[in-house]
Structures are given as structure tokens and as C-alpha cells.
Amino acid sequence: SLKNLVDFWSSPTHTLTPIIFSVNPSSRRHVLRFLKQQNLNATVLTNNLQEWIDREARYVKSRLQAFAGRDESINFETYHPYEMIETILKSQTAKFSAKVIYSTIGKTYENRNIYAMVIDENPNESKPVVMLECGIHAREWVSPATCLWISNQLLKNSSESELLQKFSFHIIPVANPDGYVYSWRTNRMWRKNRVPNDFFGFCRGVDLNRNFGTNFCKTGASPISCDNSYCGKKAFSEKESQAIRDHVLSIKKSKLKAFFSVHSFSQFWMYPYGYKDDLAQNHEQYNTLSKLAVDAIRKVHEEQYQYGSISKIIYKASGNTIDWLQENNLSEVSFAIELRDKGYYGFFLPPHLIRPTAEEFWAGVKAVIQNI
């Protein structure tokens, strides 16, 4: 088995997509031999992952310096560390105080704020809510970057005014602040949060997208604390999943119309269920809306996204956000999206592709909410 020898970037799926993973140099020969025995072809994308990490760090640093003070481009020309994202949120709120408020919906183990933005042209009116949860997996940097671009679009682009008349947008730009910071400062490939799992803190972190209270810690989640898919000690054990849960529950019943859990990578547009093969009761609605979304995405930059239920498209995954929403009738529709790309760059999507990624995803979101 490869499980204990590799870090899967994309897992085996039901679709004909490549499986991408990284491996320690000491295990490389063994893994390649195992693949050959299984008649599986392997292509080595790099012999030195650290070179990719260092190259990205240099490029991001240069972009941050180049765009320092140029507010019009700050949201989508590069990736931003958590502290700068905080600054962006404060700046947006100060400039567009009539349209946006941001609040702290929770605190992490390391005492960082979990923020939610509410963007609404007439906040005193009761409107249907559209919610975006971004950055729940730390290493998926394009997710927070995309959601910041969308917030910028809603606030600055007058063509979105009609949407703001109809909907209130709730955006959690970084749902996993501790993990995100750790991925910037220490381990670029970190996925989970940073909570200690034992007295010695040897294995840290819970996969927050396995910590929700639907079919907790069953298929597709691990009870082993060192695993990347570790589910936690119990459902909603983590401050981050509690914050998302409580924010969802604070929205008046039947007001949450659409929820989007934003991930990378593989270019999938998915809906419940993840923990079982059964179709959702409103499967036909999901199928129709998803086709509209991927058609809208393709028209922007000719990128192809596959759509279907999580369990059919990728693999079974219990304890995820959108299954919890679906099972408890908390949102009319809930989607999990894997943004660009299909694996050539993986988690290292170049900053110049943030904007096109965000543009096409936003087209998909609009196709959904305009047809609910």
C-alpha cells in the first residue's frame, strides 16, 4: 500500500484523471517499484519539490512588492499571507461601509480570528443568502485568493449591483487561519488545522472537512491523528468547524439558498452526497444547476469542469461540510468545488492564473444562484 509512503495531492477517483502525490526521497524507489508491479505508469514531475516551493515563494514576494499600495489589483494579482488578508478586509470595510461588514465568527486554537464578510447593498432588507467557505484546507491557496477576488468584484463592479439587490453574500475568506499561516511559514504542503492531538503534540491537526456531524469519521476519514484526513476526536470538536456551523445556524431558516465550499484542485463541480452513493432527494435540481455552472465556466476561458456527486466523482468522504448542510436541510443547495488546475501545477497554481480561475468560478456561482 502507498498510504503511509506518499502524500496524495489528488486521490484515486472514479474518473479518468491522474493521481498526483509527493513522496519522500527515501521512499521514492520503493514507490516506483510498487507502481511498476501494479502495471501503473508514473511520470516524475519534479525530483525536488522544495524547488517548486522556493520558486513560488520568490515569485509571490516579488508580486507583493510590485503591487504594494496598488489597491485596485491587490486582491487577485498574487497570494496573500493571513495578516495581509486581514488588512484587505479592514480596507474593504472602510471603503464600502454601506455594503460590507466583517465580523469575527470564531477563534482558532492559536487565537487567530475566523472572519466572515457580509456583502449586501441593502443590509436592512431580509434577502436569500449565498455563502462561500474558502480555505478550509490550508495548502489550497487559490481558494482564499478566489474568494477575495469575488468580494472585490461584488464591492467594486457596478455590474454586480443587481445581484446585491437580490442576495446577501456571506464569505468566509480563510476558514483555517492557523493551517494557512503554517503553510506560509513552515510547511507549504500542510492541509489540516494546528490543534495538538496528544500531550506531546507529535501529530497535530484535524482535517476540518471531515469534522462535521454527518456520518462522522466513517468512510473517507481517518481516526489516526497523524493522517491528513484525521477526523478529530468527535464531530465539531474543532473551533473552525464550530464557527462555520454556528454562522450557518445564525442565518434564518430557509434563507440560505446556496452554499459553496471552495477547494483546489482538479476542476470538479460536486454536490452531495460524499459519504454514500445514494442520490440526494433534490438530485435532479443539483444535476441541472451543475450543468448550467460548468457550461458557464467553459464560456469564460474554455476550461472544462466535471460535475456530479462527491462519491461518484472522486471518493467517499464522510463528515464534510456540504453533506451536513444537505442532511439537516440548512441550505437549498450546497456544492463543493475543486478549482484549477487538473494537476500540472496542483497546489502551486501560478499567481497569474488566480484571476481567470476566479472569473470562471464566479460565472458558475452566478449560473447557480440565478436559476435556483
Instruction: Please list the active-site residues.
Output: 338
C-alpha cell at position 372? 435556483
Rg of the chain in Å (alpha carbons): 20
Strands (E), the chain: 6-10, 20-23, 100-107, 113-119, 129-134, 168-172, 256-264, 268-271, 306-309, 333-339
Instruction: Please choose, from the candidates 53, 24, 115, 38, the residue with its C-alpha nearest in 3D space to the C-alpha of residue 348.
Output: 53
DSSP code at position 214: S
Residue 290 in 3-state DSSP? helix
Q: Looking at residue 122, what DSSP letter applies?
A: S
At residue 45, the 3 state secondary structure works out as: coil
Distances (CA, A) of 139 to 18, 78, 143, 180, 186: 19, 15, 9, 7, 11
273 cis-preceded (ω within 30 degrees of 0): yes
Q: Which residue has the cell 520568490?
A: 58
